[in-house]
Amino acid sequence: MSLIKQQDRTRSQESSAAIERMYITMRHLFNRGFYKPMGVSGETLREALLILRPEIYGTIAEEKVELNGLLYVIDRLPEGIEECRYINLTSDEGYKDSHFKPIVPPKRRRNCYRIDDEQMNIEITRGRSEIYDILTHLTFLFVESHKIMKRVVINEEGHTTRDWQKLEKAVLAEEPLSQQDREIALTHTANILGRTFHEVSSIYSKFSAPNNEKRFLKLVYWLGKRAIEEIVENDKRLVTFSPVLRERLGHHIHGEVWADNIKKELENKDLLRRPIHIISANMHSVMNTLFAPVALAKEMVKKNNLEIYETLSNAGSGKLRSRVEKTAQQHGMLFIPDQSGTNIDVQIFDTAKLDLAQNNFCSKTEYIKGKEPVIIVMDYAFGEQAYETMEELLKPYEDKRKTVHLDVKSVSIMGKAGILEGGKGDIMIPSAHLFEGTADNYPFENQLKKEDLEGHGISVFDGAMITVLGTSLQNRDILRFFYESTWNVIGLEMEGAHYQKAIQAAAKLRGSISDEVKVRYAYYASDNPLETGSTLASGGLGTTGVKPTYLITEQILEQIFRD
């Protein structure tokens, strides 16, 4: 038993060291300004990733190509990036005003621009976490591309297998593939990837995009082609960081503009001096909780609240969602679409215009005039961006004539997280945030308690949460160490420590807000990275996340209106 514990400890230490090397290396490469992912400069990243073997990247350390990990990564990178030799990470440098059409990955809101046949520009507006995320995904992508290359190149002259030649013919054909031609191409692709025909057939449609039905075949082909060119022609792919990005990073340029826009709207609507409650959540749960009972009163007669929320979550419920949004805007909701580059939209709710009596979770029905709460709902931040945006939002509002300190009564954070005990849809109530890779820890008094959310058929866990440097580096050995040790870690996410660091600094050190500000943190589980087949790469939550989302939202609002 002691030998097994020693082996587990050694593996977790090796994995922890690999993560540390990756981040030190990525910072060094960023400062350098460029690197070749499959050259000498990218070797440390590749080696660390292969030692780490993150759960999301599945079989990265094996010879066969990892399909689910490839799907996860490609949904977070711009379409066509596999064709590009040159990938340039930039700041917001004016490309939105050019003829270049922005390419937005389906699972990451970031603007990307295809400059020419060989170059892709990716705009970085969310700080270092976004750079780490992209570089990790690119490293995985290029490692997989060399797996393809090794399976199709048969000699030093660059001659290729028959399977590769057949795949090339299918990809370069301009006409759509018939079912027979597609299945023939998938047969050859399965041989190239070291996968079964059933595996590649099953995942083929998941890669398809509008006007790009052959995306999976094209992805395999271009990844392999660029890797072949690297080996045969020594034409290495290159990642560069623009001088403007390197100069601006860490200066809170986007966060400052974002926060100023919110405060100006509050001032314009005469809301700046009212009690303020900040909620970090999605853009539908608070709005639906407050206004669906009013907007959909007829439907509510036939269904309970949860059934209505599940209906609103369906893709085909656009008309119902529009009715709720229209009702919200008629009763004090202001929507502020992001113009700053943070990709964080905001809703402001003036509860003076809200009929509290129509919400059965609100214990109060009236407030003293001028003391009605103002609720600011900000969309999810990304990693370190949480510190930048929260710090800027909590600063006093300043113009040429005055300085106004915001009367922030509470900050509530709701989001998705990986869980270490339990499964998808379960709820986590943290008592502290630990920052991965450091000894930094942030204990706090969470106004949300385990008992507040129990009794609804969902498991609820409380304990510490670890704020990871990136979800793409989830490693089972490290997570098991935190779960089984005295740290009492129940889950992992990317923003908690950053939010808490900003809140503590504003309340305890800088005096920007009251030191009696209340904090609430609650997460619902998107995956369990300790369980095989239950990582983020295994797919989304579907409607599983609806019930915990609205249970948490109702509890947050109930506490806001009770205070």
Length, in residues, of the chain: 563
pLDDT of residue 536: 52
Q: Which of 433, 444, 500, 503 is nearest to 468 (CA)?
A: 433
| pLDDT tens-digit map of 253-267 | 889 999 999 999 999
The residue behind tokens 């504003």 is: 506
Residue 360: pLDDT over 90: no
What percentage of the chain has pLDDT greater than the value 90?
66
60 and 112 inside one domain? yes
38 found inside a domain = yes
The distance in angstroms from the start CA to the end CA of the chain is 51
Amino acid letter at 494?
M
Q: What stretches of 55-178 adopt beta strand conformation (E)?
A: 86-90, 112-114, 119-123
470 and 530 inside one domain? yes
108 and 177 inside one domain? yes
pLDDT of residue 46: 92
As given in the structure block, the two tokens for residue 267 are 């001032």
The residue behind tokens 């915001």 is: 406
Choose one of 246, 266, 301: the last residue of a domain. Answer: 246
pLDDT of residue 298: 83
3 found inside a domain = no
pLDDT (mean) for 537-561: 82
Confidence band for 1, pLDDT divided at 50, 70 and 90: very low
Domains in the chain: how many in total? 2
The residues facing 415 across adjacent strands are: 523
5 found inside a domain = no
CA distances from 539 to 158, 347, 463 (A): 37, 29, 26
91 found inside a domain = yes
Looking up residue 484, the CATH number of its domain turns out to be: 3.40.50.1580
**Burial of 209: CB neighbours in 10 Å, binned 0-12, 13-18, 19+:** middle
The residues facing 407 across adjacent strands are: none
Measured between alpha carbons, how far is 532 from 286 in angstroms, rounded to an integer?
34
Confidence band for 541, pLDDT divided at 50, 70 and 90: low
pLDDT (mean) for 448-476: 88
273 and 385 inside one domain? yes
The number of C-alpha atoms within 13 Å of 550 and in the hemisphere containing its C-beta is 23
pLDDT (mean) for 479-490: 84
pLDDT of residue 363: 65
308 and 209 inside one domain? no
Choose one of 201, 230, 246: the last residue of a domain. Answer: 246
User: Within 10 Å of residue 423's Cβ, how many Cβ atoms?
Assistant: 13
The residue behind tokens 């073997």 is: 53
Measured between alpha carbons, how far is 238 from 448 in angstroms, rounded to an integer?
48
- What stretches of 384-475 show up as alpha helix (H) in DSSP? 385-394, 450-453
Question: Of residues 308 and 8, which shows the higher confidence score?
Answer: 308
Q: What stretches of 313-426 adopt beta strand conformation (E)?
A: 333-336, 346-350, 374-378, 397-398, 403-404, 408-419
239 and 255 inside one domain? no
280 found inside a domain = yes
Q: Which of 253, 317, 9, 295 is nearest to 124 (CA)?
A: 253
Measured between alpha carbons, how far is 524 from 549 in angstroms, rounded to an integer?
7
What percentage of the chain has pLDDT greater than the value 70?
94
6 found inside a domain = no
230 and 266 inside one domain? no
The number of C-alpha atoms within 13 Å of 496 and in the hemisphere containing its C-beta is 33
258 and 215 inside one domain? no
| pLDDT tens-digit map of 98-136 | 999 999 999 888 999 999 999 999 999 888 889 999 999
Pairing mode, strands 276-280 and 238-241: unpaired
Helix (H) or strand (E) holding 26: helix 2-32
95 found inside a domain = yes
430 and 519 inside one domain? yes
Cβ pair 334, 362 in contact under 8 A: no
Measured between alpha carbons, how far is 40 from 37 in angstroms, rounded to an integer?
8
| pLDDT tens-digit map of 371-387 | 899 999 999 999 999 99
**Burial of 179: CB neighbours in 10 Å, binned 0-12, 13-18, 19+:** exposed
488 and 342 inside one domain? yes
| pLDDT tens-digit map of 218-271 | 999 999 999 999 999 999 999 999 999 999 887 788 899 999 999 999 999 999
313 and 328 inside one domain? yes
Range of the domain at 117: 11-246
218 and 308 inside one domain? no
Q: Which of 91, 88, 77 is nearest to 123 (CA)?
A: 91
Cβ pair 519, 430 in contact under 8 A: no
Choose one of 183, 211, 246: the last residue of a domain. Answer: 246
Confidence band for 300, pLDDT divided at 50, 70 and 90: confident
Output phi, psi for 342, to 5 deg. -75, -20
Cβ pair 179, 186 in contact under 8 A: no
Helix (H) or strand (E) holding 428: strand 427-435
Measured between alpha carbons, how far is 537 from 539 in angstroms, rounded to an integer?
5
| pLDDT tens-digit map of 266-289 | 999 999 999 999 999 999 999 999
Mean pLDDT of the chain: 90
2 found inside a domain = no
